[in-house]
Amino acid sequence: MKKIGGKLMNKDSLLFRHLMVAVVLLPLLSALSCSDEDRLEIDDMRAQTAVLTSLKEDIGWANAIVTVRRSTSGRNYFQLDERVTLDPVGWDNPFSDEVRALIAFSDLGQKSDFCTKTVSVERIDSLVTRDGAYIDMEDGLAGGSGVMPVHTVATGFESVSDLLEASSPIDVVTDEGIPDWMTFSEDGYLMIHFATFWGDVTMHSVNLYASRRHPDHLYLVHKDNGDYQSSWKESLVAFRICQLYMSRKDNYRDPGSVVLHWMSFSGEKTLRLKYGTRATER
């Protein structure tokens, strides 16, 4: 996803003065591919909890969000959107795994034998990149498949309504009521830009759960873990959701769109986003 017109879509610069950079302390699963050739089986899904602390960081320098990938031949490249790939000339990949990342790049205007464009990397910062997981509980939705033999995560709640009611509230960052350019689905990931109160005393945690019967419905669960609420700060997190769909045998293999649910400061809210399918592996 590239920043439109060289500008952030948010007009209030306050939204970017307090980016919370999430630090994952307990990586429970290393799921890096959703290709048909090497896809995860749903039975292998396990929950991942991102344990977070807030940091002040200005992200106005970034002009895109990309997937940092390594090809089957070991060549590094960036997936910019569904069609465009970037060849980072002279760039050494510091990341051991595939991640989503904020990036500032410039087009070199040269031909590439591997990607759509050649670019120079001016700066890159990785984002927390973790997996979603299935839950099997009453989702309050009509119809759906209830026969998928998938692994599910026990949450201790009987319904998604109870799950959300127990969540600490957040707000998805918007610009004049519309989610900004950093909340979207692309390349099999779901990016979420959200804000809440932080005291920086106790670390927060987030999970993303999918309804087993209706996997196009995704539930963002945030826990402030008793953190003292003193300052309004933000977070940008990437959830890998392609593995929730690729192994299915029903109509949800390509959901078309997804509905994000979360508990806001004014009650439960939802947002429907076009699902960005996983780009072809190179």
Q: How confident is the model at residue 168 (pLDDT cuts 50, 70, 90)?
A: very high
pTM metric for this prediction: 0.84
Residue type, 42: I
How much of the chain, in percent, has pLDDT values that exceed 90? 53
Using CA atoms, how far apart are residues 176 and 110, in angstroms rounded to an integer?
Answer: 39
Using CA atoms, how far apart are residues 248 and 75, in angstroms rounded to an integer?
Answer: 30
pLDDT of residue 117: 96
Q: Which pLDDT tens digit goes with each residue over 31-90?
A: 445 754 444 333 334 457 777 666 457 788 999 999 999 999 999 999 999 999 999 999
* DSSP-assigned letters across all residues of 84-116: -EEEETT-----SS-EEEEEEEEE-----SSSS
Using CA atoms, how far apart are residues 64 and 172, in angstroms rounded to an integer?
Answer: 19
Using CA atoms, how far apart are residues 84 and 102, in angstroms rounded to an integer?
Answer: 16
Better-predicted residue by pLDDT, 5 or 200: 200
- End-to-end Cα, the chain, rounded Å: 19
Q: Which pLDDT tens digit goes with each residue over 88-133?
A: 999 999 999 999 999 999 999 999 999 999 999 999 999 988 899 8
188: left (phi over 0), alpha (psi -120 to 50) or beta: left
Nearest CA to 48 among 228, 275, 208, 222?
208
